[in-house]
Each structure stands twice: as C-alpha cells, then as structure tokens.
Chain A
C-alpha cells in the first residue's frame, strides 16, 4: 500500500513524467480483467497484455514480457565477437541482415575497422531488401489482425519469397543469413546475383502499386484504423520511440539521414512523415518507406563498384579490440537498433547490450490503447510492429 502511495507521489511530483493518463470507468460496472496472451494469435509471438475492461473500453493495459527471453546478452558476453553474429540473426528474426549490420557497425567502431566500398553497397542492398520484406510483411500481419484473413498476407509473402530466394543464393540461408562480418561481408555477390536483384527490384513497384490499390482506400480499413491509437509527437519523442512509429507522428528522425552511417549520404531519398500518428498513418508510412527503399535499391544497383569486400587489415578470428566502448546504431526496419559493447581487451566483450527498437516502442503501447475498444488493441499492437525475439532477447 505504502509502495503504491510513494509511487503516485513520485508521479505527480516529477514534471513531464510520461505516465499513461488515468481513464475513469463510466458508471459503476465491474471491471473485467482479461489476459490477452501469451497464446493469442494476434500478439505476434508470446506476449501477454493484462487488460482491464469497462465494457469494451480499455481502462488499464499492462504488457508482460519475458516469454521468449533467450539470454542473448549473457550468451554474447561468454563468446567471441565473431560467434555473436549468428545470434544477432535471431534477435529480430524477420530482418536478420539489419541486425548483423548494426552489430558489425558496433564492432567496427570498437576496433577501428574500415569497410570497403563494395561491401558498403552490398550492405545497403541487402539492408533495403530486408526493409522491403519487413514492411510488406508487417502491413500484411496488421491487416490479417483486422480480419482480412490471408489475402493481403499472401501478397506480402509472395514478394517475400522472391527476396528470400535472393538471400538464400547469396548467403546460403533463407532467414538466418549470418552474412556480415566486421570489416565487410562474408561472400561476394556474383554478377548473376546482382542481375537477379535487379529483376526482383524491377517487379517491386508493381507490387507496391497493387498493394496500395487494394488497401489504401479500402473503406473497412479506413474505418478501423483512422483516429485509432493516436500517439502524440511529444510523447513519442519522450518515450524514445523510433522508426515508422515515430515518423507516423510527424517527427522527422531517420538515422539514415541523421547519423550519416554507411553510404546513405550518396543516395537521394525522402523520409515520409505522418500527420495524425494513428494506425492508418503507420500503415501508410510503411508503404511509402517501401517505395523509398525501392528507389534506394535502384540507385545502389546502378553504381555498385567492384573491389574487395573485406578490409584486409580486419582480423576476424582471434579478434581482440583495445579496451574501450562503442555504440553502433542503424535504422532497422522497426526503428533504431543499437549494439553497445564494452571491451576489456579480451576475446569476449565485457558487456554486450542491445537497444532493441521493438521493446522501446512498446513502452507507449498503454498510452495508445487507453480508452480504445478492445478490438483495436490488436490493431495498435500490430501497427507498432514488434518481434518478440527482439523484445525479450
């Protein structure tokens, strides 16, 4: 009792403290407490939301994580820098290549390793392909949660399989690519592979057109998503939300533009921004970003240079960086993905920390859901686009 009293005292004292607002139940109906998950088809994995309902309205919502806690950080501290790369694949298992990239970037900062130009181009190509398939998929899942069982997801998976075929040709694996190394990439792309990418990328605008024509002006979709789950920009910034969730609220923050990492300065692309910060905006932002990714891919495929793909000075095996710390971050499809490494000079990192976009974007889930209907919770959760492997690590 005293604990909660102190808690509420703290909440009222601290200025700008982002507690979710209090929602009063109307009338004196009994509140219904529902545990959504961990086995719930729309939670995208094993995730639980303890919801208190007044009729259909959400009065409280408490996310419960940890059902997929796989000790990622602890395992990373017990093994060499190289051995952690396959584990990063399994963080956000839909976009393994961007996870590789963020980790490689952190180790490169730690060890002062340069990346050759061709490797940077290859990273951009596979990274943007990953973004395309992630956004197609997350829109598909969102609409599946809305009740359009199967069809939009089938379209998304059709394109995804083409992209996964490319990943498999290049890296040998469909999902867990394990492709990037600190100092470059593992294998070089052949001219045939690049031609294959060109062919797939040439087909993507038609897919985007088809998807948009099917979905954007669909009346049911607009009725279900517009004005639902609004996230105000101040709250999004204060809560540390990143990625499409933040940009849908109208905040112009894309690490590709802000951080100037890799070679993104060479490409001409726009950062789509939303106006309202509702579910529909998040859905539209993903479709627009998909188009920008296609545009980046076209540019990258046009001017990819030849040359080595690994820094000759990079030491992959027996890599022992000098004592120090580094934080490498990229704009992953779900938001800012960062790896924070502390080295004590040994073959293993002393501390290995992941900044997962999914977990931090989930902190505003309650604020978005309060006062909404219970059926909208699955939509709001779907529009945040989480992957539980990354949330629980």
Chain B
C-alpha cells in the first residue's frame, strides 16, 4: 500500500520523510541494477556504446558490469543465441542470484531475427528463460537499450513485496532454477521450457 501523496507532501514540509518498506526497497533495487558483462554478438557493441560517455548508462545506476553472474542482477542477451550457446546462457542465468532480470536485446534474441532460418540459431531466448523486456532492432540503438532499462526500472518499482502478485524471488514455491537444455540429435532437448514459453496462438 502506497503512502497518500498529499500526506507525504504535508509531512515533508514538517521535515518528516514517510515511505513504505516496499517503496524504499524497490527504490534501492531499481537504482542499482548491475548488468552482467556478457556480449553475444553484434548487439554487444551497441551495449558497450551505451556504457560509454555519450549514452552513459551510469545515469541510471547500471554502469557496473560484472563479469561474474553471481554478482549481477540483470542479464542483457545481446545478440544471436545459437543452439551451442543456449545451454550456457541458461546455466549463466541459473547461476545469477535472485532477484534477476533479463533484457532480450535485438531481433536475434527475441526470435532469431534475420538468422531465424538457420539450422543452428535458437528462435528466441524466451523459450528457456523468462524475459522481462524485449527490444526490437538489428541492432537496437543505444537509446533503445536505455529505454528498455527505464522500462525495467518501472517494472521493479511496481513489484509488490507480499500477496499473490509478488515476484518469483519472494515466492518460496517458485522454481529457482530453469532446466538447462541438452544438445540432442537434431535440436536442443527439450525444444522449449513449457513453464515459461507457449507457442503463439494464431487467431484467424
């Protein structure tokens, strides 16, 4: 439950700062999301450009790129995920500490993009791990990545600490790990994690 905005202003005039635990908690987490230093393909160069002086992702508190998944809060899937790489990506995601978020950057990470017809290209990383924000583009501009990041911050801000709507990391029954696909004869096995991905329904 949020504090009444009017009350907050009135109390603020008296020099008293009022907030809820949820707001404070989300404020703290939203402004310090550390991404994982993990580039896959072309989009990785735009991801690096976003961290550099002109676009400067440090303005949003996400400039600390950690090479280790244990220290990272967010994974930017920046490029084509091939069938050889997909198990490693899922494993890296499993190794990250909760709460963790995923941005699928670029057409390849969303759906396979221009390489979708290829025999070795995974048709979207959301078949195996839950994706919070998708950014289209080939590659997306740095501004698009910043926009995705702001969208993620809004999502973090709206997370409830208790109740049915609470996110996965606060739910003891939610799965902590996601099954890692194994290379099989023709494709990865399983071809998708049915808990996070459903084949799109075509409505005619």
Contacts and interface: CB of A to CB of B under 8 A. Distances in A.
Interface of A: 38-41, 44-46, 66-71, 74-75, 78, 86-87, 90, 93-94, 153-154, 157-158, 160-161, 174-176, 388-389
Given A71-B119, A87-B114, A45 B82 contact: no
A93 B54 CA distance: 20
Contacts of A175: 42, 45-46, 139
Contacts of A71: 115, 117-121
A78 B117 contact: yes
A181 to B, nearest CB: 18
A94 B43 CA distance: 10
B174 interface: no
Contacts of A41: 37, 67
A389 B121 contact: no
A78 B115 CA distance: 12
Contacts of B45: 93-94, 175
B117 A45 contact: no
Interface in B18-44: 37-42, 44
B85 A38 contact: yes
Given A38-B88, A154-B52, A389-B42, A70 B121 contact: yes
B148 interface: no
Contacts of A87: 114
Contacts of B52: 153-154, 157-158, 161
B85 A46 contact: yes
B121 to A, nearest CB: 6
6 contacts: A46-B40, A69-B82, A69-B120, A71-B120, A174-B141, A176-B138
Given A46-B88, A69-B82, 15 more contacts: A39-B88, A39-B92, A66-B84, A68-B41, A70-B80, A86-B114, A93-B139, A154-B53, A157-B49, A157-B52, A157-B54, A174-B141, A175-B46, A388-B41, A389-B42
B142 to A, nearest CB: 9
Given A46-B40, A74-B119, A158-B54, A67 B46 contact: no
B117 A67 contact: no
Interface residues of B, number: 33
Interface string B129-149: 000000000110100000000
A160 B52 CA distance: 11
A158 B114 contact: no
Contacts of B138: 176
A44 B53 CA distance: 20
Most buried by B among A67, A75, A174: A67
Contacts of B53: 154, 157-158
5 closest A-B pairs by CB: A71-B118, A93-B42, A157-B52, A41-B67, A70-B115
Given A45-B39, A154-B53, A175-B46, A75 B139 contact: no
Contacts of A86: 114
Contact of B80 (A68, A153, A157): A68
Contacts of B80: 68, 70
Nearest to A42: B67
B33 to A, nearest CB: 18
B88 A75 contact: no
A70 B49 contact: no
Contacts of B54: 157-158, 161
Contacts of B37: 41
Contacts of B84: 66-67, 69
Contacts of A161: 49, 52, 54
Interface string B43-60: 011101100111000000
Given A39-B88, A154-B53, A93 B41 contact: yes
A45 B42 CA distance: 9
A68 B82 contact: yes
Contact of A70 (B39, B46, B118): B118
